[in-house]
Structure formats: C-alpha cells, structure tokens
Amino acid sequence: MNIYELSTPLTDEKIEHLRAGDKTILSGVIYTARDAAHQKIINLLNEGKNLPFNLQDQVIYYVGPSPAKPGRTIGSAGPTTSSRMDPYTPALLAEGLKGMIGKGARSEEVCQAIQKYKAVYFAAIGGAAALMSKCITKVEVIAYPELGPEAIYKLEVTNLPLIVINDIKGNDLYQQGRLPYQKI
C-alpha cells in the first residue's frame, strides 16, 4: 500500500500509477452529485445541452451532506452507496469524468469503463462523516438547489483521506482485500 497526495483536476498522469488499496490524500475542487443530479446530467447530455460543470478531469463525490450549523462550512459529509449511480456512470466517464468518491462495489460495466476511459474509483469511510466535514473548506451550490441534500455542490477539500478501490488495471479492493482474511 502506497500513500499519494493528489490535487484536482486529475489527469491520466496523476492517476495511472494508483492501485487498489493505495491511500490517497485529495485536495482541490470536487463536485457532489447523487441519484437525482445524475438523472438530470444524463438528461442534459441526451439533449446536447451544457452541464452545470464541465466533467473533463473532474471528481464527483457521491454525498448528500447534512445542513451546516451556524458558523460551520458544511454539516456531516460522508459517502453514500455508489452502486445507485452505476447506470449513469459510464456515460459520465465517456465525457471525461476522472474520479469518483463513494462507498460500496461498482457494476461490471462501471469497472470496465474505469479501465477504458482511465479513471479511478475511491472509497471514503462511510460513517466517518463528521471527520470528513473537517476536510471541506468551501461550499457552493451550483445547480438544483431545490433538491436540498441532492443538489450539486462545488466543494473545496483539503487532505481528504481516500482509499483506491478500482484502478485502471482492473483491480478491485473489495474483491481482493478480503482474501487474506477469508476463512469461510
């Protein structure tokens, strides 16, 4: 396991050496999107319209934060289950999306698209949402405020701790990580 510091936007050079199980400390601008926002992005793509942000080399964090208490930047902000975004993801990767942050396993189609388009899927620690909120230094709603926690937020993060799950070589930490401990 290696530890890498990364900053967004991501490029092929920044991610091609990452392998499943590596720790990554991510800084820079990332965008949030969950189910409803993904559906809207796909609709825009199908209609040939502009997206709320350019996907090229960007990172999407699957998160619906809790509201910020007065004086705080954001509420708790841990990952949601990524597989719900699987049906939409290959189309976003084809548009240049480089990184995704969530939790839980991805579909075969997504894993193949990660290899094909050279991208990376990271896990954040589900349930460590208070801790992660400390890494978020700036928050701006850039689209669909009516969706509340499902809106698209532009976040600035500093030293967000992540684990590489799926890499460009087809490795999958969720498949491989358990093997040394599996006794059944």
Partner 1 sequence: MNVDTTKIIHFDTIREKVKSLCMEANYFLGEDIKIYIEKAIEKESSPLGKEVLKDLQRNWELAAKEQIPICQDTGTAVIFLEIGQEVKIVGGYLYDAINEGVRKGYREGYLRKSMVKHPWLRVNTDDNTPAIIHTEIVPGNKLKITVAPKGGGSENMSALKMLTPAAGLEGVKRFVLESVKKAGPNACPPLVVGVGVGGNFEKAALLAKKALLRKLGHFNQDPAIAQVELELLKDINKTGIGPQGFGGNTTALAVNIEVFPCHIASLPVAVNINCHASRHKTIIL
What are the catalytic residues?
Answer: 38
Q: What is the 3-state secondary structure (H, E, C) of the chain?
A: CCEEEEECCCCHHHHCCCCCCCEEEEEEEEEECCHHHHHHHHHHHHCCCCCCCCCCCCEEECCCCCCCCCCCCCCCCCCCEHHHHCCCHHHHHHCCCCEEEEECCCCHHHHHHHHHCCCEEEECCCCCHHHHHCCEEEEEEEECHHHHHHCEEEEEEEEEEEEEEECCCCCEHHHHCCHHHCCC
Q: What is the pattern of x (binds partner 1, CB under 8 A) and - over residues 2-31?
A: -------------------x----------
Considering only residues 107 through 166, tell me which ones interact with partner 1, judged by CB under 8 A. Answer: 123, 125-131, 133-134, 147-150, 161, 163
Q: Which of 29, 42, 44, 68 binds partner 1 (CB under 8 A)?
A: 68
Closest CA to 109 of 51, 46, 166, 175: 166
Report the nearest approach of partner 1 to the CB of residue 39 (Å): 10
Q: How many of the chain's residues bind partner 1 (CB under 8 A)? A: 48
Report the nearest approach of partner 1 to the CB of residue 63 (Å): 7
Report the nearest approach of partner 1 to the CB of residue 4 (Å): 15
Of the ranges 47-55, 64-72, 85-93, 135-143, which one interacts with partner 1 (CB under 8 A)? 64-72
Residue ranges binding partner 1 (CB under 8 A): 1, 21, 36, 63-69, 72, 75-78, 80-81, 83, 103-105, 123, 125-131, 133-134, 147-150, 161, 163, 173-174, 176-184
